[in-house]
Chain A
Amino acid sequence: MREAALSPPPRRHGRLVIRLLLVAAAFFAFGFALVPLYDSLCRAVGFNGKTLKDAIEAKDVPPSAVNYARSLGVQFTSTLMPGLPWEIRPLEPAIEVHPGELRTTRFLVRNLSDRTIVGQAVPSVSPTVAARHFRKLDCFCFKQQTLAPGESREMALTFVVDGDIGEEISELTLAYAFFPAPNPN
């Protein structure tokens, strides 16, 4: 019975410990939940210049919606990430567009190596607030691109800048980073 003198009035730690473990588990899950949350947040507000994922249809861009009174400068740039022995350049480095106007531009891409390589382009728009107003009908960035040894190809991008893009924006830049495809399919 001498242990009795030691112990304080019996306390239940079990319930508290389980609750604290649940908090830890919840925050572990929260870390993973941040992945889709962050992605949707970026697309919703244009963080990191992420453009909206879904392509739009031509019928969503009626010619009547074009605002001819306003024009915007759109610049195109491109970079290659390490491990991709390609060459890429926009055929039109800068163009003028009207909000609501459907435009197509092309990038020249060439495989400089002697093997077949798969690449994936990732777009980013600056200023970032303009990203969600930059809508694409068709883009070579929608899927991985395969180039045979020495092959060069013109890759097309069809886009429209939303009519409701903020008045303060007069110029925007679309940058493509071409990565080696992580797991070619």
Chain B
Amino acid sequence: MQYQWDFGFLLQYKALIGVGVLYTVGFTIATALSGLVVGCLVALLRLSHLRAATWVVTAFIEIFRCTPVLVQLVWCYYALPILTGLELTPATAAFLTLTLYGASFYGEIIRGGIISVDMGQWDAGRALGMRRSQLMRRVVLPQAMRRMVPPLVNQTVLQLKNTSLLSVLAVPDLLYQGQLITSASYRPLETYTMIAVIYFAILFPLTRLAHRLEARPGH
């Protein structure tokens, strides 16, 4: 017997889906911003000459890069309260985990961008009498930024897809809403197809943007 595709029933869940989109996009934007801020700090600490700071930050980056984000989420929500007595709501645990996970990758992208700037540029800025902060702001970062933007956009694409893992903590993101709809309608094929289409519709323009930024002739 042929499977009868029917997407029509999904219309009645459009409010639920809307909430899911809001959570997915909202968490992506929030954790991308917080991840960039923490990532900047991480990069600067790794580039500093403070040996202890470099060591701690490197350990942090490797722990978050080398373990699955799903495990991190579960660990942060269930294990952290037992170890520290700190009770986190699912949303807070999710925000914290995705921020730090994102920061570990963003931090390495930012660090790579900074060290890719030619040493002669540092020499030239220093020779003019610039202080470290002026050199960063006026000479290094403007040049590093062009190289950092495409990989940062790519990492943000991954960050958005990682928000689908929030469903394990019952945060009502797009995937979680899909699971709800599936259990009510018993039509997982249509439901997950629609979820995939929505993810694609959000991310495709973003990857196109990254591609355009890569193609732009830079220094």
A binds B: no
Q: Which B residues form the contact surface with A (CB < 8 A)?
A: none
Q: Which A residues form the contact surface with B (CB < 8 A)?
A: none
